[in-house]
C-alpha cells in the first residue's frame, strides 16, 4: 500500500438517459411545474381521478461498473477501449469533475487532468493572458506559471504573437499555445485524454517527446488514446475497458491484442449506443454491385452504406475516419466541411451511400470510424470501427508486387499521373 497512488474499488457511474428530452439540454422547469400540478390534482381528486401512470421515460445507463484497479507511483498506464466504453467517464471521476455513483477511489497526491487542450481560453484575451488563465484553471499557482512562462512560450513557438488576442491566431497557433501550457503542468499524477491528436506531424512528435519526458520524470501518468503507436511508446501497462467494465489489465502488447480481438468479436452486433441528435444505426462496406462485403478492391470507389436517425437539428455532419490495423488514421471525410453537406433537417431515419475516392490502399486490415457531429464542433455519436474490412492485395496496374501495410511505407500506394520519362541532361559546362 505504501506507494499506491490510485486505488479504485467497485467503482461505478450511472447516468440517467431521458429519451423524451434527448433533444434539449437539461430539463424544462415548465415540465416540473406541470408534473407537480398534475400530481397535486391527482391527489385532490383521490383514487377515482384519472390515473395516468407517470411514464418514466428515463433509463439507467452504467458508464462504469465494478471497476477495480490499483496504480503505483511512477506507473505509466494507458486506458484503451472503443467510444462509449467509459474511458472519459473514468478520467472524469478520477479528476473529480464528476462524482461516482458507487464504489470508492483513493488518491494519494495532486491530480491534474488534461481532458482537452485550451480549456477556458478566451478569444478576446492575448496569448500571454490566456497562458496564465489556462494554467490557473489547470491547477497551477501563479508562481509556478511565472517560473515556467518563458519555457511555455518557447515550446509553443508563437513568441511573436504572444501579446495578440488569440482570436487572431490560426488554428495551428492556437492549438500549439494551448498544448504548450498543458505540457508544462506540474502534478504528481497526470491524467491525459487524447490531446495528442492535434497539430501537424512535427508538432505531434514534439508533443510525444514531451510526453515521454514527463513520463520518464517519475510521475504517474494515465493516458487515454486511440493511437496504439503512442500508447506503445509511452506506457507499459494498459487497462482495457468494454461497456464500462475492465476486461483486461496488463502489459500493453497483450492489451492491444486483446482489444483488437474483442473488436473483431463484437463486430457482428455490438451495441452502438446512440447520440443526442443523430444516431448511427448500421453501416457496411459495399462492393461494386451494391452488396455488403468485407473485402475492398484497391482502385475502386470506397463505398460505405450508412443508416442513421436524426432529430433534424440543422448543421449536423457525418464524418468518417479510415484507420489501418495499428489504428493510425489514414484518411478523413467530413460531410459538413469537405463537401458542405449537412444531415437532413426533417427528423427521421435515413440511409445513404458514401462513395469515396478510388484508393490504392495497402494490403491489410482497416477499420472505419463513423461519427456524427454538430458542425464539427461537438461530437454527437461516434462508433469506432463501425465497419472493418480487408484488402487482400494491392498491386496497381497488375504489377507483380504486393504493397502491404507491413512494409512500413504507409497505407497508400502512389501512382503516376503521367508517364515517367528520364531525360538525359547534358553535363554542365564550366
Partner 1 sequence: MSSAEPKPQIHLVLEPGRADREYWRELLRYHELFSILAWRDVAVRYKQTVIGASWAFVRPFLTMVVFTVLFGHLAKLAQTTGAPYAILVFAGLLPWTLFASVMGDVSTSVVSNGNLIARVYFPRLIVPLSTVVVALIDFAVSLVILVGLMVWYLYVPGWQILLLPVFVLLALLTALGPALWAASMIVKYRDFRFIIPFAMQFGLYVSPVGFSSSVVPEKWRLLYSLNPVVGVIDGFRWCIIGGDSPIYWPGFVLSLAVMVFFLWLGIHTFRRTERSFADMV
The helix-helix angle for 171-183 and 127-137 (nearest 10°) equals 40
Q: CB–CB of 344/395 below 8 Å?
A: no
Taking CB under 8 A as the rule, does residue 30 contact partner 1? yes
Least distance (Å) from partner 1 to the CB of residue 30?
6
Q: Are strands 278-286 and 301-310 parallel, antiparallel or unpaired?
A: antiparallel
Cβ-based nearer residue to partner 1, 124 or 418? 124
* Residue numbers 138-197 binding partner 1 by CB under 8 A: 138-139, 141-142, 144, 186, 188
Q: How is residue 315 written as a grid cell?
A: 448543421
CA–CA gap between residue 147 and residue 150 (Å, rounded): 8
Least distance (Å) from partner 1 to the CB of residue 366?
32
Three-point CA angle 139, 207, 181, nearest 5°: 25
Cβ-based nearer residue to partner 1, 129 or 249? 129
Taking CB under 8 A as the rule, does residue 271 contact partner 1? no
Near partner 1 by CB under 8 A, which window of 75-83, 122-130, 232-240, 391-399? 122-130
Cβ-based nearer residue to partner 1, 24 or 261? 24
Taking CB under 8 A as the rule, does residue 116 contact partner 1? yes
Taking CB under 8 A as the rule, does residue 137 contact partner 1? yes
Exposed e or buried b for every residue in 168-179, given b needs 16+ CB within 10 A? Answer: ebeeebbbbbbb
User: Cell match 511573436: residue?
Assistant: 160
Taking CB under 8 A as the rule, does residue 28 contact partner 1? yes
* Residue from 4, 136, 311, 325 binding partner 1 (CB under 8 A): 136
CA–CA gap between residue 216 and residue 210 (Å, rounded): 10
Question: How many CB atoms are closer than 10 A to CB 305?
Answer: 17
Q: Which of 116, 84, 80, 26 is nearest to 275 (CA)?
A: 84
* Residue from 18, 69, 70, 105 binding partner 1 (CB under 8 A): 105
Q: Measure Cα distances from 179 to 28, 90, 168, 348 in Å.
A: 38, 22, 17, 40
Near partner 1 by CB under 8 A, which window of 137-145, 295-303, 304-312, 414-422? 137-145
Total residues contacting partner 1 by CB under 8 A comes to 49
Taking CB under 8 A as the rule, does residue 96 contact partner 1? yes
* Residue from 81, 84, 86, 100 binding partner 1 (CB under 8 A): 100
Give residues in contact with partner 1 (CB under 8 A): 15, 24-30, 32, 92-111, 113, 115-116, 119-120, 122, 124-125, 129, 132-133, 136-139, 141-142, 144, 186, 188
Amino acid at each position: 500500500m505504501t506507494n499506491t497512488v490510485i486505488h479504485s474499488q467497485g467503482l461505478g457511474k450511472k447516468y440517467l438517459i431521458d429519451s423524451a428530452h434527448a433533444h434539449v439540454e437539461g430539463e424544462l422547469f415548465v415540465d416540473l411545474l406541470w408534473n407537480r400540478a398534475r400530481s397535486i390534482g391527482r391527489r385532490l381528486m383521490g383514487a377515482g381521478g384519472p390515473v395516468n401512470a407517470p411514464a418514466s421515460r428515463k433509463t439507467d445507463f452504467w458508464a462504469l461498473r465494478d471497476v477495480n484497479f490499483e496504480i503505483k507511483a511512477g506507473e505509466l498506464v494507458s486506458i484503451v477501449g472503443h467510444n462509449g466504453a467509459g474511458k472519459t467517464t473514468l478520467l472524469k471521476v478520477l479528476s473529480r469533475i464528476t462524482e461516482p455513483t458507487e464504489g470508492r477511489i483513493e488518491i494519494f497526491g495532486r491530480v491534474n487532468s488534461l481532458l482537452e487542450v485550451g480549456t477556458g481560453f478566451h478569444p478576446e484575451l492575448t496569448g500571454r493572458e490566456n497562458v496564465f488563465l489556462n494554467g490557473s484553471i489547470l491547477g497551477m499557482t501563479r508562481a509556478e506559471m511565472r517560473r515556467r512562462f518563458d519555457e511555455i512560450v518557447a515550446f509553443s513557438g508563437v513568441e511573436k504573437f504572444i501579446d495578440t488576442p488569440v482570436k487572431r491566431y490560426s488554428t495551428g497557433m492556437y492549438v500549439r499555445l494551448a498544448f504548450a501550457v498543458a505540457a508544462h503542468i506540474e502534478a504528481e499524477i497526470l491524467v491525459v485524454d487524447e490531446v495528442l491528436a492535434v497539430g501537424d506531424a512535427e508538432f505531434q512528435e514534439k508533443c510525444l517527446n514531451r510526453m515521454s519526458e514527463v513520463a520518464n520524470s517519475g510521475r504517474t501518468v494515465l493516458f487515454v488514446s486511440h493511437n496504439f503507436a503512442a500508447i506503445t511508446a509511452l506506457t507499459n501497462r494498459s487497462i482495457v475497458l468494454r461497456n464500462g467494465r475492465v476486461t483486461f489489465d496488463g502489459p500493453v502488447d497483450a492489451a492491444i491484442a486483446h482489444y483488437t480481438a474483442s473488436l473483431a468479436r463484437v463486430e457482428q452486433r455490438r451495441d452502438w449506443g446512440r447520440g443526442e441528435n443523430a444516431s448511427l444505426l448500421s453501416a457496411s462496406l459495399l462492393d461494386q454491385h451494391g452488396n455488403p462485403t468485407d473485402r475492398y478492391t484497391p482502385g475502386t470507389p470506397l463505398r460505405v452504406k450508412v443508416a442513421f436517425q436524426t432529430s433534424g437539428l440543422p448543421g449536423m455532419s457525418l464524418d468518417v475516419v479510415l484507420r489501418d490495423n495499428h489504428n493510425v488514421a489514414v484518411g478523413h471525410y467530413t460531410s459538413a466541411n469537405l463537401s458542405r453537406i449537412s444531415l437532413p433537417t426533417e427528423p427521421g431515419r435515413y440511409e445513404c451511400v458514401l462513395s469515396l475516392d478510388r484508393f490504392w490502399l495497402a494490403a491489410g486490415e482497416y477499420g472505419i470510424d463513423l461519427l456524427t457531429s454538430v458542425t464539427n464542433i461537438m461530437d454527437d455519436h461516434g462508433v469506432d470501427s463501425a465497419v472493418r474490412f480487408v484488402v487482400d492485395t494491392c498491386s496497381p496496374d497488375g504489377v507483380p508486387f504486393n504493397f502491404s501495410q507491413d512494409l512500413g511505407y504507409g497505407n497508400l500506394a502512389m501512382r503516376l499521373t503521367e508517364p515517367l520519362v528520364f531525360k538525359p541532361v547534358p553535363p554542365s559546362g564550366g
